[in-house]
Amino acid sequence: MIRFEAFPEVLQWILWLIIPVLMGIGLWAGAIKKRTLIRAGDPELIEQLSHSVSKQKRRLKDLLRFSAISLILFAVWGPKFSDELTEIHREGVDIVILLDVSNSMRAQDIKPDRLEKARFELRKLIKELRGDRIALVVFAGQAHLQTPLTLDYSAFEMFLDISDETLIGVQGTSFENALEVGLSAFDQEDTQHRAMILISDGEDHEGQLDEVLERAKAENVIIHTAGIGSFSGTPIPIFDDQRKLTGYRKTRTGEVVTTRLYTETLQTISVETGGRFVHLNTASASLDEIYNDILGMEQKEFSRHEFTNFKEQYHWFVFLALLFLVLELLITDLHGTDRNWQGDYIRD
């Protein structure tokens, strides 16, 4: 099986037309030379004067030149050959991301803010994935399945970029509701190969987790948690539609509302389900430790398909073209036995 590199359609037509054009030019030049010799004098006299020149060798040299040019053009087309079928297995784990988008995630104790830091870490995680399916749940006082389990990482990143506090009408933080929606996002026919990553500043305003954690353990879901933020109180900014800072959130009495990282609930969730807790508090902190644990889980097969493993073969055509050009230079157009000068063709 053979195929060529993908070129624009117009360029493909131009490349394929070059060879017949060259053949036409060669035939036209030969006809012009023949007519010139006829006008130059008596054909029999010219034949006797050019007795030492071998017409067969001239034709062979022309054929070698034409073949070399054709092979170089063939190499430019990027030929690929293969009769080898390769089977690809796509294996991985189902991963559901729970992303806190409550107002407190806009606190700027981590630059530019907690939510942007979480997005940045998730984009890095996406680049590390090795065939895993991934889903996104955004939550505050309520939870919403933003992206179902998918292998389309580009689509996941697109929905991640538009996930912010404006998506959830009910503010606050409810881990219970987020975990319920996250558990429902998994494939219900497969109770293995499941992992969840919860990213939040830990401020749970509901606090009813016993039942949902029991469900997670029963369904073999390992929940990893990532805390984001500092332990000191930080004001929650307010932005206008142009994302300009207009002030900070305050209580009814006029006091500035502050938020800090609470790790107790996050650590409880990870310990209860056999997961890992990480603190995304610095530029060097990342989700790598969590994903390394996920890589150690049993993988399941998501897809399998066969494809032809084409390999570049242009170098063979270049080699043959160079060989033909060298041969053309080495071959003389004179007869091998008679080298006395008896005339030659009139050259242009």
Q: Are β-strands 80-81 and 311-312 bridged in parallel, bridged antiparallel, or unpaired?
A: antiparallel
- For CATH 3.40.50.410, list the domain ranges present in the chain: 89-304
Q: What is the rounded distance in angstroms from the CA atom of residue 276 to the CA atom of residue 54? A: 85
Per the prediction, the chain carries an average pLDDT of 81
75-127: pLDDT as tens digits: 777 777 666 666 655 677 899 999 999 999 999 988 889 999 999 999 999 99
Domain 89-304 in CATH 3.40.50.410? The answer is: yes
List Cβ neighbours of 127 (8 Å cut-off, separation of 6 or more): none
Q: What is the rounded distance in angstroms from the CA atom of residue 183 to the CA atom of residue 215? A: 9
197-242: pLDDT as tens digits: 999 998 776 668 899 999 999 999 999 999 999 888 889 888 887 7
Q: What is the rounded distance in angstroms from the CA atom of residue 57 to the CA atom of residue 60? A: 5
Least confident range from 33-47, 67-81, 278-292: namely 33-47
Q: Is-contact 16 23, C-beta < 8 A? A: no
180-197: pLDDT as tens digits: 999 999 988 777 778 999
Q: What is the rounded distance in angstroms from the CA atom of residue 222 to the CA atom of residue 212? A: 13
Q: Is-contact 250 257, C-beta < 8 A? A: yes
Q: What is the rounded distance in angstroms from the CA atom of residue 338 to the CA atom of residue 321? A: 31
| Residue among 68, 42, 23 at smallest CA distance from 322 | 68
Contacts 24+ apart (CB under 8 A), 234-241: 234/107, 234/108, 234/109, 234/258, 234/259, 234/260, 235/107, 235/259, 236/103, 236/104, 236/106, 236/107, 237/106, 237/107, 237/108, 237/113, 239/106
7-61: pLDDT as tens digits: 556 666 666 677 778 778 877 877 887 777 667 666 666 666 666 667 778 788 8
308-346: pLDDT as tens digits: 566 777 788 889 989 998 988 888 777 655 555 555 545
The helix (run of H) or strand (run of E) holding residue 300 is strand 300-308
Percent helix / strand / coil, the chain, rounded to 5: 40, 20, 35
